[in-house]
């Protein structure tokens, strides 16, 4: 079977029409060209005549792939699916421990996974910190008795679903019959669930659907292994659950009981869905919609510009908040595996939503806050940038218009000002170029007079369109770079040493513990001193069950100018820690 990296490389090449330079692929996946060549050769050997990957001076390309190879890739991706952000070895050990009934020693665990005791100990530290973020489950490590997961059966099933990809099951040292049975159950559940959910009007997101089917499959497997659940929940959609119960019984021969039905319903409630026929309380929906104006007002007050939600955006955000409120009423939250990536790339949006949604709607969303933050990012993207463009052209406006449309599309935000002048006017006012961020012309003589202009063709081809798009993006990147240089000089403080054992989170400050031991602290207020301070911990500190090695403390005063550029720079700084 292909490795996950080999699958990703194959899919990447399938998505490209032209050849891709080996340097670009190597940089994207963090491997050298020799490793890249070996990986693609392995893909070719795996599929034989079913795929043809050619290499030339211009790079690699997939010239042919059969339907059989495509189907095998789909199955492999499904096998690798994992609803957890833990490394694979940590996931495998966690899943294995969840199926053990008794303690296991460190030595036994090392032997069963072909690891050293030191490697196992380090992996268990990672697992312990990760599990420690959840309530009612604990990884017990005892020098005398050994290691085991302590939790009720309901919690264990939930965690099994997070780690229960086919690939993880196949790599843990349990009986082949158990793995085969799980494979059989999962396939059966995924045959029946799309139709059942569609008929009931519950269209879940793909990620939530996979989590639900894994949960049902793990529940059936564990019950058959003599691990019953004892938590009964009522108030579920009996029509939907009846169909699920009947489908599972017909396909697997296992009869889900009342207790298990309640837990399955709990997973459905915490899922993210695209549409749902269930009538959410109209009064709640109306209340949420009314308060969007308050949310817009508070965000606008911080960023210094008025934001607007289109009708479609208002509907999406209302639905998103209603789902979160309903989950909160049931004491649960949605799993969001993209939370950390969203915090790293969109710290401003995450902070704003974490401050104002609990204040306005009286609900705490934890990692789920990243969902509306991602939404807010798309709204703010329209007002984040500014671009002034000068086009010098002797062509008719009908010929220039396609360039204007392409420039606005490539920029991706609203504030794009384009001025078009004929060559004879420009020659009389050459000093005006200082007012513009990007200079374009269709006239060769203008380029000869000022080489800062980019020459455009009279009529664009497909390749020309891509070239113009890149010119615009590079101009925006240069503008950002200039802003970053000012921010760095003005606000970035020298890196210091954090000597305290405990990290104090200040008033109105929000803390985000990320991978690689980074703690991001953000505060925005009128009395704050704008600054970006980086610290190295003298000794690792514990925060929210994570070991912190570095701290990035960010403060911004709302009166200090371009908040977007400031936090875009913060996102760039965060990248340097990874």
Tell me the pLDDT of the chain (578 aa) as tens digits. Answer: 788 888 889 888 888 878 888 888 888 888 888 999 999 999 999 889 989 999 888 889 999 999 888 888 877 777 666 555 566 788 899 999 999 999 999 999 999 999 999 999 999 988 887 787 677 789 999 888 999 999 989 889 988 988 888 888 988 999 999 999 999 999 999 999 999 988 888 888 888 888 899 999 999 999 999 998 876 555 567 788 889 999 999 999 999 988 888 888 888 877 777 666 555 567 778 888 899 999 999 999 999 888 888 888 888 888 888 888 877 766 666 666 688 889 999 999 999 999 999 999 888 777 788 888 988 998 888 888 888 999 999 998 888 999 999 999 888 877 889 999 999 999 998 999 999 999 999 999 998 889 899 998 888 887 788 888 999 999 988 888 889 999 999 999 888 888 887 888 888 899 998 878 899 999 999 888 999 999 999 888 888 777 889 999 999 998 888 899 999 999 999 988 76
The interaxial angle of helices 4-14 and 67-80, nearest 10 deg, is 130
- 174 Rama sector, left if φ>0, alpha if ψ -120 to 50, beta otherwise: beta
pLDDT (0 to 100) of residue 530: 94
* The model's pTM: 0.70
Residues in contact with 289: Cβ distance below 8 Å, sequence separation at least 6, in sequence order: 314, 318
- Helices 563-575, 370-384: inter-axial angle, 10-degree rounding: 120
Distance (Å, whole) CA 302 – CA 564 = 11
What lies within 8 Å, CB to CB, of 423 at 6+ separation is 392, 393, 394, 441, 443, 445, 446
21 three-class SS: coil
HSE at residue 559, side-chain half, CA atoms within 13 A, is 4
3-state secondary structure of 428: helix
Count of Cβ atoms closer than 10 Å to residue 489 Cβ: 8
Output the pLDDT for position 236.
64
> How deeply is 458 buried, as exposed, middle or buried, from its count of CB atoms within 10 A (0-12, 13-18, 19+)?
exposed
CB 304 within 8 A of CB 367: no
Query: Of 357, 436, 340, nearest to 391 (Cα)?
Result: 436
CA distance 326 to 332: 9
């Amino acid at each position: 079977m292909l490795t996950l990296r080999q699958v990703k490389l194959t899919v990447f090449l399938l998505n490209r029409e032209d050849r891709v330079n080996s340097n670009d692929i190597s940089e994207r996946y963090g491997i050298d060209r020799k490793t890249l060549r070996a990986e693609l050769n392995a893909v070719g050997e795996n599929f034989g005549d079913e795929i043809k990957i050619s290499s030339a001076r211009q790079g690699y390309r997939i010239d042919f792939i059969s339907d059989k190879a495509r189907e095998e890739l789909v199955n492999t991706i499904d096998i690798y699916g994992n609803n957890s952000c833990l490394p694979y070895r940590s996931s495998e050990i966690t899943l294995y421990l969840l199926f053990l009934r008794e303690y296991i020693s460190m030595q036994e665990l090392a032997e069963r996974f072909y690891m050293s005791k030191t490697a196992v100990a380090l992996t268990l530290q990672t697992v312990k910190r990760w599990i420690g973020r959840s309530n009612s489950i604990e990884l017990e490590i005892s020098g005398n008795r050994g290691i085991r997961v302590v939790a009720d059966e309901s919690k264990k099933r939930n965690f099994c679903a997070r780690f229960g990809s086919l690939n993880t099951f196949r790599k843990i040292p349990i009986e082949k019959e158990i793995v085969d049975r799980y494979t059989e159950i999962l396939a059966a559940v995924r045959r029946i669930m799309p139709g059942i959910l569609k008929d009931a009007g519950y269209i879940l997101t793909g990620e939530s659907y996979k989590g639900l089917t894994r949960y049902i499959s793990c529940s059936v497997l564990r019950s058959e292994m003599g691990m019953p659940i004892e938590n009964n929940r009522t108030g579920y959609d009996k029509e939907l659950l009846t169909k699920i119960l009947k489908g599972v019984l017909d396909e697997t021969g296992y009869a889900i009981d009342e207790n298990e039905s309640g837990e399955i319903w709990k997973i459905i409630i915490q899922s993210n869905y695209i549409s749902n026929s269930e009538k959410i309380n109209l009064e709640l929906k109306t209340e949420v919609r009314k308060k969007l104006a308050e949310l817009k007002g508070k965000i606008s007050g911080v960023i210094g510009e008025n934001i607007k939600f289109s009708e479609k955006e208002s509907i999406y955000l209302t639905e998103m908040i209603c789902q979160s409120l309903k989950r909160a009423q049931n004491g649960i939250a949605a799993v969001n595996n993209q939370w950390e990536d969203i915090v790293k790339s969109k710290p401003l949006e995450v902070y704003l939503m974490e401050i104002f949604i609990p204040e306005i709607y009286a609900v705490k969303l934890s990692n789920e806050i990243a969902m509306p933050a991602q939404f807010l990012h798309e709204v703010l993207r329209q007002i984040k940038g500014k671009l002034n463009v000068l086009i010098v052209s002797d062509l008719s406006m009908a010929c220039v218009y396609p360039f204007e449309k392409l420039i606005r599309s490539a920029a991706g935000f609203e504030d794009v000002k384009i001025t078009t002048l004929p060559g004879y006017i420009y020659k009389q006012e050459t000093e005006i170029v200082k007012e513009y961020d990007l200079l374009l012309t269709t006239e060769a003589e203008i380029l000869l007079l000022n080489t800062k202009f980019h020459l455009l063709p009279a009529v664009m081809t497909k390749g020309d369109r891509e070239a113009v798009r890149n010119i615009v993006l590079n101009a925006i990147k240069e503008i950002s770079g200039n802003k970053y240089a000012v921010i760095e000089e003005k606000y970035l403080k020298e890196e210091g040493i954090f000597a305290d054992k405990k990290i104090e989170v200040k008033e109105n400050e929000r803390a985000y513990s990320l991978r690689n031991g980074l703690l991001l602290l953000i505060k925005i207020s009128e009395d704050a001193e704008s600054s970006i301070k980086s610290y190295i911990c003298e000794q690792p500190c514990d925060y929210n069950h994570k070991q912190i090695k570095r701290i990035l403390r960010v403060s911004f005063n709302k009166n200090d100018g371009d908040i977007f550029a400031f936090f875009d720079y913060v996102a760039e700084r965060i990248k340097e820690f990874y």
